[in-house]
Amino acid sequence: MTNRYGNTGFSLIEVLVTIVILMIGLLGLAGLQGRALTSQLESYQRSQALILLKDMENRINANRKNAAEYVTTTALGVGAACPAAASSVVSVDKNEWCNALMGAAEVQSGVSAAGTMIGARGCIYQVTSPASGVATPYLAVVSWQGFNNTKAPDVTTATSAGKCGEGQYGNESLHRVVTLPISIADLN
């Protein structure tokens, strides 16, 4: 005589094991989705920084005779008041760039700026004092706070590019920097 109830419950164990395996896979997928979202936001911030760098390069190139006046002594953007937009083209350009760094182009519900980098700051440096007849090298820098730890920007460069926003993000491995060299020919 055979026991016809001998295999009862075996299917239930198989279902439970399948559910556990499926849950582990879904948790891995959720983690992957979170990483993809973070990477997308990092990429968005970097593209915004590059757009702002090209904007400042175009402003300096359009006003070549006054290029030296674009050099900043302090970082523009978050944590600093934007310079007043006086009657000069340079002051208007600096004011508009500062506002763009803080996200003034995109406003959320009329209350706060949105759509730009976290803690965005911008700096313009004159790399070296040029000799007569030589192109003047400038360096436009945008820095912001990232989401994941990476290598901190190199602050040992002669251009001080890494110093734009240095120490402003709590952890230097969250500090992001992009630079754009700008050469202005001697107009004399």
107 three-state secondary structure = strand
Cα 119 to Cα 3, 24, 170: the distances in Å are 72, 37, 11
Nearest CA to 145 among 112, 123, 113, 167?
167
Specify the length of the chain in residues.
Answer: 188
Q: Cα(141)–Cα(123) distance, rounded to whole angstroms? A: 5
Output the pLDDT for position 54.
94
pTM of the predicted protein model: 0.76
Taking alpha carbons only, the member of 146, 179, 138 closest to residue 162 is: 179
Distances (CA, A) of 26 to 38, 84, 109: 18, 53, 36
Distance of CA 10 to the CA centre of its chain: 55
Q: Which residues of the chain have pLDDT under 70?
A: 1-10, 104-115, 129-134, 155-162, 186-188
Q: What is the pLDDT of residue 82?
A: 80
Phi then psi for residue 125, to 5 deg, are -115, 145
Query: CB-side exposure of 87: number of CA atoms within 13 Å?
Result: 0
By the 10 Å C-beta count (0-12 exposed, 13-18 middle, 19+ buried), 129 is classed as exposed
pLDDT in the model for residue 113: 62
Q: What is the pLDDT of residue 10?
A: 67
